[in-house]
A = this chain, B = another copy of it.
Amino acid sequence: MTLPPEFDLITRYFKPLSGDGSFSLSDDAAVFMPPAGQEMVMAADALVEGVHFLPTDPPATLGRKLLRVNLSDLAAMGGAPFGYLMTLSLPRIDHAWMAAFVVGLATDQKAFGMRLLGGDTTGTTGPVVLSLTIIGTMPPGQAVRRSTARPGDSLWVTGSIGDSALGLSVLTGRVSAPEDVRAFLTGRYHLPRPRLMKIAGVASAAMDVSDGFVQDLGHLCRESGCVAVVDVDRIPLSRAARSLADQFADQPAFLEQVLTGGDDYELLLAVPPEREIMLSAAARQAGVSLTRIGRFYPGAPAVDIRRADGTSLEFGRGGWSHFQ
């Protein structure tokens, strides 16, 4: 009796990614003893072809992006990577695609110290759908929540904002860019950098920016019951991003793209003034750049993005929605 192609996929592509507890993906489920004295941290995000990635995006970065968008959720809680499960829904088996996809996964799971624990490969009549559940660990009671920012905390953000959304605009031809700018911005779109740094015991609140800076900061404010006042000129934009500003109708249109475009996978951090030295040390240790961009105040939850003249920016939308 010949085996169906799914088993060939497992043997060729997924078994090499599997680790302790996975039974080499040959059993019904993974079984493992969780690290003693640690809490488990878990999140699940899906990527859909044509929605989260382009059909032309390289498969070599796609697996890495899938892993990294989930690692970004771990990073936002202060967790450390442990393992993952993954389901793939594919319209056909394309061996070149599969091979590149798993090479990307192998690269990143090694870099981040993870292993594949299980999953499922199914057919579909529609676009590729990739779903990943990430498993991390952390010391008990140390999780950094969204709901615990306090008036007086400073607001910090890692890396730079807007590169990924601009990278997508370059890829879809809505803006044009010279080769070096294009390479940087599309690289940011294809390969998020999960900001795994020591935030437990440092930040009073954190979340990752995935759906748009304004919208996600709004969640943090709503959950924490605070106002965030942001100095727009302090929001870190890369030189590549700034170089494309003149292709937009005006500065507000550019800022709306940058601050609501999403896919940043940077961290928003609320940090009490007395812990800023600890924060700088943690960022330095992780090789992450950090910028203080504003402050939290008491008041009805809101995001107030201020220009140098004291006026506030208004946007038509806060971020990405799947259903609008």
Residues of A whose CB lies within 8 Å of any CB of B are 1, 3-6, 23, 26-34, 39-48, 50-52, 73-74, 76-77, 79, 85-89, 92-93, 117-127, 129, 131, 133-136, 138, 140, 143, 145-147, 206-208, 211, 214-215, 218, 223, 302-303, 318-324
Contacts and interface: CB of A to CB of B under 8 A. Distances in A.
B41 A29 contact: yes
Contact of A223 (B26, B44, B147): B26
25 contacts: A4-B322, A4-B324, A5-B324, A6-B321, A26-B147, A28-B76, A28-B206, A29-B41, A29-B43, A29-B73, A30-B43, A42-B135, A43-B85, A44-B119, A46-B89, A47-B122, A48-B123, A50-B125, A89-B129, A92-B323, A120-B131, A124-B126, A125-B126, A126-B129, A133-B133
Given A42-B118, A45-B120, A324-B5, A136 B87 contact: no
A85 B121 contact: no
Nearest to A50: B125
Contacts of A44: 85-87, 118-120, 131, 133
A42 B214 contact: no
B27 A145 contact: yes
Contact of A29 (B50, B77, B89, B119): B77
Contacts of A34: 34, 39-40
A320 B127 CA distance: 21
How many copies altogether? Answer: 2
Contact of A318 (B1, B76, B136, B146): B1
A29 B126 contact: no
A39 to B, nearest CB: 5
A122 B77 contact: no
Contact of A4 (B29, B131, B323): B323
Given A6-B322, A122-B51, A322-B123, A46 B1 contact: no
B39 A33 contact: yes
B31 A122 contact: no
A28 B265 CA distance: 12
A32 B26 contact: no
Given A29-B76, A44-B119, A89-B129, 14 more contacts: A1-B302, A5-B321, A23-B147, A27-B77, A27-B207, A29-B79, A42-B135, A43-B85, A44-B120, A46-B87, A46-B131, A92-B323, A125-B127, A126-B129
